[in-house]
Structure 1
Amino acid sequence: MSDPTAEFFDGLGHRGHEPLLQEATGTIRFDLEHDHGVDRWFVVIQQGDVRVSREEREADSVVRVDKGLFDRIVSGEENLYAAWVRNELRAEGEVRLARLIQRVFPGPPGAHDPRMFARERRRQA
């Protein structure tokens, strides 16, 4: 059985540098709540350089969310921003970091990055 959350964080950590987070510096801890406790993922961002671990330590921003919902978010089945608006996802501390990291979350299946769409339209013209 696959774990979408682990796959997401493993992939994020292996990227090393994420251009979409170039303007971000700080730490984010994701507290993913479930029946058996809380899974924690710790993300360090240094001007786009990203490291991911399972450390349990203080962070500039803490995101709390149900693990099942987070699995659906990183699978593209749910929208992170919509969960935030519904108060199913909560951020504490430096909320700006939590908002910036949204950039690396997948969109819904079949969605296209708007920049790629614009490039394709220019090529066709």
Structure 2
Amino acid sequence: MSSPTANFFEALGRRGHERLLEEASGSIRFDLEHDHEVDRWLLMITRGDVRVSRGKGAADCVITGHRSTFDRIVTGRSHIYAAWVRNELKADGDVRLARFIQRLMPGPPGAHHPREFVRERRRPA
């Protein structure tokens, strides 16, 4: 059964290049616990070019937590920064890379991008 987390990483891998990560280079491994197992996702970022794999490889930054927490984040029901503050996620290594990941997280369900919101408000009724 596919999870929101798996869907997120698979979609990220299909993009190939992510403009929001053009300032980043490095590797991030996500170790996400669930049902007494650990799902591992490895992101290799080179100036916005993103490769995603499932593996235990060494990484510049390792983010650990429960998959259910990450499921809430990638569906917009929770914010990644709040999860760090609540100690639900931990980042070890180059935490600068962890901050770049925040750029990829969706907003709350039903949220609008500020520019789209302004365009809608400008339309005549």
Same fold judged by TM-score > 0.5? Answer: yes
The whole-number CA distance in structure 2 between the counterparts of 1:86 and 1:17 is 31
**CA separation of 1:123 and 1:83: change in aligned 2, threshold 3 A:** same
**Matching residue's letter, 2:27:** T
In the alignment, the residues of structure 2 paired with residue 70 and residue 107 of structure 1 have an alpha-carbon distance, to the nearest angstrom, of: 14
C-alpha separation between the residues in 2 aligned to 1:101 and 1:112?
A: 20
Equivalent runs, 1:57-72 vs 2, <5 Å: 57-72=57-72
Distance in 2 of aligned mates of 1:93 and 1:115: 35
Partner of 2:77: 77
Structure 1 distance, partners of 2:114, 2:82, is 19
| Counterpart residue type for residue 104 of structure 2 | V
**Cα displacement string for residues 85-104 of structure 1 (whole angstroms, at most 9, x for unaligned residues):** 11111000000000111101
Identity %: 64
Deviates more, 1:6-15 or 1:75-84: 75-84
Displaced runs of 4 or more, over 3 A:
114-118, 121-124
Q: TM-score, normalised by structure 1?
A: 0.90
Alignment of 1:34-113 (within 5 A): 34-113=34-113
> In structure 2, do the counterparts of structure 1 residues 25 and 4 end up closer, same or farther at CA, with 3 Å as the change threshold?
same
Residue identity in the other structure for 2:106? P
Q: What do you get for the CA RMSD once the two structures are aligned? A: 1.8
CA shift digits 1:39-61 (9 cap, x unpaired)? 10000000000000002111000
Tell me the equivalent position of 1:29: 29
- For the residues of structure 1 that align with 2:66 and 2:120, how far apart are their CA atoms? 39
One-letter amino acid matched to 2:91? A
**Matches of 2:112 and 2:39 in 1, distance apart?**
31
Structure 2 residue runs of 5 or longer lacking an equivalent are none
Aligned length: 124
Once residues 116 and 19 of structure 2 are traced to their aligned partners in structure 1, the CA distance between those partners, rounded to angstroms, is 15
Q: Could you report, residue by residue, the CA deviation over 1:98-123 in whole angstroms, capped at 9, with x for unpaired residues?
A: 011110111110112335445x2796
Change (3 A) 1:123 1:22: farther
Structure 1 unmatched runs, 5+: none
